[in-house]
Amino acid sequence: GNSVTQMEGPVTLSEEAFLTINCTYTATGYPSLFWYVQYPGEGLQLLLKATKADDKGSNKGFEATYRKETTSFHLEKGSVQVSDSAVYFCALGHSGGGADGLTFGKGTHLIIQP
């Protein structure tokens, strides 16, 4: 079946550091890939997405590239801020059409220290 694996953390970085959160997936067909972010006490918000191989999603300085050959969708940011502290979820949407439910990774807790 479909699955998503990501580093769980917590990941602690200093402000302005470079960020990478790894995400790999197992899926049949050609899924869409997502990164969602959850701030304390809130629901999940879409951060970025990619719907086909080699697509790059980007938003708020974050980027991730859909790599089919390595089944990966790693999240990167060149210079993190304290306000980026949150839990980040990698997710895949099933292929074949239809708004199916998402399969999520366990989430990575990111802590940015000033």
Partner 1 sequence: DAGVIQSPRHEVTEMGQEVTLRCKPISGHNSLFWYRQTMMRGLELLIYFNNNVPIDDSGMPEDRFSAKMPNASFSTLKIQPSEPRDSAVYFCASSLDQSPGTTQYFGPGTRLTVL
CA distance 100 to 1: 14
The single residue among 84, 93, 108, 110 that binds partner 1, judged by CB under 8 A, is 93
CA distance 109 to 82: 13
Find the part of the chain contacting partner 1 (CB under 8 A) among 17-25, 71-79, 93-101.
93-101
Answer yes or no: are the C-beta atoms of 31 and 100 closer than 8 Å. Answer: no
Which residues face 21 on adjacent strands? 75
CB atoms inside a 10 Å sphere around CB 60: 12
Q: Among candidates 80, 112, 114, which has minimal Cα distance to 11?
A: 112
CB atoms inside a 10 Å sphere around CB 21: 23
Find the part of the chain contacting partner 1 (CB under 8 A) among 12-20, 68-76, 78-86, 91-99.
91-99
Q: Does 100 bind partner 1 (CB under 8 A)?
A: yes
Q: Rank residues 101 and 114 by Cβ distance to partner 1 and give the closer one.
A: 101
- Number of residues located near partner 1, criterion CB under 8 A: 26
Q: Does 51 bind partner 1 (CB under 8 A)?
A: yes
What mask, x for binding partner 1 by CB under 8 A, covers residues 11 to 50?
Answer: ---------------------x-x-x----xxxxxx--x-
Please report, as ranges, the residues that interact with partner 1 according to CB under 8 A. 32, 34, 36, 41-46, 49, 51, 89, 93, 95-107
